[in-house]
Every structure is written in structure tokens, then in C-alpha cells.
């Protein structure tokens, strides 16, 4: 089997109102999908992290840099291809967009391997560690409304009503406002719901510790990206100062080489690799090996279309409990509940995450079809593609 083409597909739609986090507001939804075609008719699907205008820069890397390296190669030589491409990119970008682009290709190659062998991705990764995973409802993004705490309170209640037993909110507006928002979310969600707060690296260690003390008092489960991803010592300071509140991070870190620092320096309680950025399924496995050797649990970061949600459903089922036990910590599936058309409609057959969450106490199961087990709904794709 040989690779005959590699193509990017960028989808975009306008949002009714801008959504924000600690670094920016955005008013368009973007998804960067990728197809790897082969001479025996199999087509692998991937997704590349990097929203908005970054998707167009990543598309140039996919089509102008990676495509010529891939045409004619055996798509099942996944590990060999990864290593060769990484070596060639190394001098020009060990982190960021080149690795995001490589991630999308790698995901598509695993999809092809699954189709070629008739096995679902979770099986290729070693099998299902559990029959279903707990999904957590991502929401509570910044909006331009007069009463943001009131809006967060309502949204938290709505996420719980959808059936989610865990939810994540944005913070990063300064200590006073963050704690008002966190209190509103706690009140809206109720006491039994597991809550996470995500600062998207908006704080210094000193500020993060102050805010973390407030989150801990409200019974939050984890504090995500409190400080800059480059500040490994800052992570350690925050973690040491906040016993009782888990520190999570890793979405802005790349490959096993970057993750090595977060893991070996014990910067985080929970590592969050983004499979569509950090190097793909292949690299995710290497990062998992490193994390397990240091006893650090992995909960995948997810922010993308249903293609990426499908990949992460497989990953979340295949991940081991770390360290392991009958009543153990379990990985969760991150599920974005904020407005996007690229969920529920993008695939020929919906993943029905929301339906499953509602019916199954907040839990979701992965299907048994080969590879990622998905096909694109082409009418939908043609309607929203902008390339």
C-alpha cells in the first residue's frame, strides 16, 4: 500500500457571540481536518490542532512540507515515518505548528492501520481498560455579558442538567472576579459535581497560589494551566503550595521531549497531552509510557471537532488507571459544550456523546468499527469548508 495524497480540509463558521478565555476572544469556529489517501482505496482521517488563522499556516505545512515526504510511502510504516519527519523538522520547529501538522498526519495513519487490520484504534493501543468513560462538560467561557457570574451559574446548572457529573470553567480575570465566577459555578453545579478551573497560563506562581487557595476552598478538583508552560519551576511552586488541589497541565507542551520536563520535574498531578498537537497517537503512547514510569495520571486534552473527539474516545478507553486499583482514578473525556457546528453533524454517523451522557449517567462508550470508526458527512463538509 502506498500514500497517494495528503489533503487539508478547513471548516469554519461564525459564532453568534464571541467566546473567550484568558488570552483572547474569538468569533469563528474553525476545524482543520486532514485526509491521507492510499492506492488501495483506504483513506485515513486526522485533525490538526491550531484554531483560527493558525489552521491556514498549518495547512501550508501539511501540503507543502509534509505531503512531498509522504507520497509513495507505505502508510503502515507509522513509526518510521514519524521519526524521519520529526528529524527533518527538528531544526525548524520542535514545538508548535510543525508538530501539530505531523500530529494530524499520524492520527490519519493510525486510522488507516485500523482499517487495514479491521481493528478499532483502542484495540491497536492494547485494548479497552474500561467499557465507558466519564465525560466532563467543558463550558463557562468568557462572554461579553453584563452579569458573567450569573451567566456562569446558569451554564453550570445547564451542563449538569445535560447529565454531566463533572465540568470545567475558564478563569483568568484576576483573583476577585475568578473567585466570584468559581463560586457561581459551584452554586450552579451543586456540591456533588466535580469541578475544574482553567487559567490558560494567565498567572504568575504567586497569583496562581492565591487563586488556587480560593478554588480549594470551593472544593475544586483540579487547577489547569495556572502558570506559563515554560515555567517548570513555577509549576512546582504552585503544586507545592496547594496540597489538596490537583495541578493539571500539558496541552501547550510538545512531544516526549517537552513532556519529559513536566513529568520528571513533577510539575503536574495530571498530565494533559493534546493528541492533535503533541505528536499524534504514536507520540501520545510514548508520553504515556514516560508518565506511567513516574506515576503521573494522563487525562487527554480535547479541543476540536467530532474527529478529535472520536480519537480521544479511543484513547480514554485504552488508557490505564495510574497507578492502578479497584477504586482508582479514571481518565475522563473532555467534551466542549459551547456552540460549535462541528460536533454531532460532521460525521456520517453521529458519536451521540450528548445522548449517551444523558442516558448513561455522564458516561460515554467507544464503538467497535475499524480505525477511528468514523466517516465524514460530505454534504456538511462542503457547506462549511473554506479552503
What SS3 string covers 240-257? HHCCCCEEEECCCCCHHH
Kindly state whether residue 334 participates in binding Ca ion, applying the rule CB under 5 A: no
C-alpha 125, offset from chain centre: 18
Site size for Ca ion (CB under 5 A): 1
Q: Evaluate whether 297 touches 291 at the Cβ level (below 8 Å).
A: yes
Range 264-303 burial, b when 16+ CB lie within 10 A, else e: eebbbbbbbbbbbbbbbbbbbbbbbebbbeeebbbbbbbe
Least separation in angstroms between residue 309's CB and Ca ion is: 16
**Separation of CA 3 from chain center:** 27
Min dist CB 266 to Ca ion, Å, is 20
Q: How far is CA 47 from CA 51, 56, 310, in A?
A: 11, 13, 10
Residues 179-208 within binding reach of Ca ion (CB under 5 A) = 198
Annotation says 301 is catalytic: yes
Nearest-approach distance from CB 252 to Ca ion, in angstroms: 8
Cell 478507553 locates to 317
> Which residue lies nearer to Ca ion by CB, 207 or 352?
207
Residue 39 Cβ vs Ca ion, minimum distance, rounded to whole Å: 40
Rank residues 198 and 336 by Cβ distance to Ca ion and give the closer one: 198
Closest-by-Cβ residue to Ca ion is 198
Catalytic, out of 32, 153, 301, 317: 301
* Sites for Ca ion among residues 213-232 (CB under 5 A): none
Q: Are 203 and 173 in contact (CB under 8 A)?
A: no
Binding mask 290-329 for Ca ion (x = CB under 5 A): ----------------------------------------
All residues at 6 or more sequence positions from 156 whose CB lies less than 8 Å from its CB, including other chains: 139, 140, 167, 169, 184, 185, 186, 187, 188, 189, 193
Smallest distance from Ca ion to CB 247, Å: 13
Site residues for Ca ion per CB under 5 A? 198
Query: Which sequence positions are flagged as catalytic?
Result: 301
Amino acid at each position: 500500500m502506498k500514500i497517494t495524497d495528503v489533503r487539508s480540509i478547513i471548516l469554519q463558521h461564525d459564532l453568534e457571540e464571541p467566546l473567550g478565555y484568558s488570552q483572547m476572544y474569538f468569533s469563528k469556529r474553525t476545524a482543520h481536518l486532514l485526509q491521507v489517501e492510499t492506492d488501495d482505496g483506504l483513506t485515513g482521517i486526522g485533525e490538526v490542532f491550531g484554531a483560527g488563522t493558525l489552521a491556514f499556516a498549518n495547512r501550508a505545512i501539511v501540503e507543502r512540507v509534509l505531503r512531498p515526504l509522504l507520497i509513495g510511502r507505505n502508510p503502515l510504516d507509522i513509526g518510521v515515518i514519524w521519526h524521519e519527519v520529526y528529524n527533518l523538522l527538528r531544526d525548524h520547529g520542535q514545538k508548535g505548528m510543525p508538530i501539530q501538522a505531523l500530529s494530524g498526519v499520524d492520527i490519519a495513519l493510525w486510522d488507516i492501520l485500523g482499517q487495514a487490520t479491521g481493528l478499532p484504534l483502542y484495540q491497536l493501543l492494547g485494548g479497552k481498560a474500561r467499557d465507558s468513560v466519564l465525560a466532563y462538560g467543558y463550558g463557562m467561557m468568557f462572554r461579553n455579558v453584563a452579569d458573567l457570574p450569573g451567566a456562569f451559574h446558569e451554564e453550570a446548572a445547564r451542563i449538569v442538567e445535560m447529565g454531566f457529573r463533572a465540568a470545567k470553567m475558564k478563569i483568568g480575570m484576576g483573583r476577585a472576579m475568578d473567585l466570584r465566577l468559581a463560586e457561581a459555578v459551584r452554586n450552579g453545579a451543586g456540591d456533588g459535581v466535580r469541578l475544574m478551573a482553567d487559567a490558560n497560563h494567565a498567572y504568575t506562581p504567586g497569583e496562581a497560589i492565591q487563586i488556587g487557595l480560593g478554588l480549594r476552598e470551593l472544593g475544586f478538583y483540579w487547577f489547569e494551566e495556572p502558570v506559563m508552560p515554560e515555567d517548570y519551576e513555577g509549576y512546582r511552586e504552585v503544586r507545592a503550595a496547594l496540597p489538596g488541589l490537583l495541578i493539571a497541565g500539558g496541552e501547550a507542551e510538545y512531544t516526549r521531549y517537552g513532556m519529559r520536563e513536566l513529568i520528571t520535574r513533577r510539575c503536574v498531578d495530571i498530565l494533559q497531552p493534546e493528541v492533535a498537537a503533541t505528536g499524534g497517537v504514536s507520540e501520545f503512547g510514548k508520553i504515556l509510557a514516560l508518565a506511567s514510569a513516574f506515576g503521573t495520571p494522563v487525562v487527554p486534552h480535547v479541543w476540536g471537532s467530532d474527529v478529535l473527539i472520536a480519537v480521544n474516545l479511543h484513547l480514554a478507553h485504552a488508557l490505564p488507571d495510574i497507578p492502578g486499583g479497584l477504586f482508582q482514578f479514571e481518565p475522563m473525556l473532555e467534551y466542549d459544550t459551547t456552540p460549535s457546528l462541528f460536533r454531532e453533524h460532521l460525521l456520517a454517523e453521529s458519536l451521540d456523546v450528548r445522548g449517551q451522557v444523558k442516558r448513561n449517567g455522564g458516561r460515554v462508550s467507544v464503538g467497535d468499527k475499524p480505525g477511528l470508526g468514523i466517516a465524514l458527512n460530505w454534504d456538511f463538509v462542503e457547506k462549511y469548508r473554506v479552503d
